[in-house]
Amino acid sequence: MKVLIPTPLRSYTGERSEVEAEGTTLAELLADLDRRYPGIRFRMIDEQDAIRRHIRIWVNRDQVSTLQVQLGAEDEVIIFQALSGG
């Protein structure tokens, strides 16, 4: 399915803003994304599987707070990173 990547993480995806990854849950999808782009997951998700403080993940139009969210083949996953602060 389609995954939209924010600017600060595009160094992992060869500067691509939109990539493909697979999974039936958000956890699986992020694991697949990390297989394709090693290191990208830990920048977004900490070692306790929590979404980092300044990262937001949306599935279609719903913001999610857990990696256990179920995904369908037609879903779109959008990753945002806050750009607050100096």
Partner 1 sequence: MKTNKIPQSGLPKPATGAVALLVATRKGAFVLRSDKARRAWRTTGPMFFGHIVHHMVLDHRPSPGAKAKGSRTLLAATSTGHLGPTLSRSPDFGRTWKEAASPPAFPKAPEGQKGRAVGHTFWLTPGHARKPGVWYAGTSPQGLFRSEDDGDTWAPVSGFNDNPMYSSWTGGEQDGTPDGPKLHSINVDPRDPRHLYIAMSSGGVFESTDEGASWKPLNAGVLADFRPDKYPDYGQDAHCVRLHPAAPDVLYQQNHCGIYRLERPGATWQRIGDNMPKKIGDIGFPVVLHPRDPATLWVFPMDGGTVWPRTSPGGKPAAYVSRNAGRTWQRLDSGLPKSQGWFTVKRQAMSADAHDPVGVYFGTTSGEIWASSNEGRKWVCVARHLPEIYAVEAVELAR
Q: What 3-state DSSP class applies to 14? A: coil
Q: Which stretch binds partner 1 (CB under 8 A): 14-22, 35-43, 60-68, 71-79?
A: 35-43
The residue type at 41: R
Question: Under a CB-based contact definition with an 8 Å cutoff, are residues 80 and 60 in contact?
Answer: no
Tell me: does residue 44 bind partner 1 (CB under 8 A): yes
**Going edge to edge, which strands form the sheet with 2-4?**
18-20, 2-4, 76-81, 55-59, 62-64
Nearer to partner 1, 16 or 52 (CB): 52
Tell me: does residue 81 bind partner 1 (CB under 8 A): yes
Tell me: does residue 45 bind partner 1 (CB under 8 A): yes
Tell me: does residue 25 bind partner 1 (CB under 8 A): no
Calpha distance 84→72 (Å, rounded) = 32
Residues that bind partner 1 (CB under 8 A): 8-9, 38-39, 42-50, 52-55, 81-85
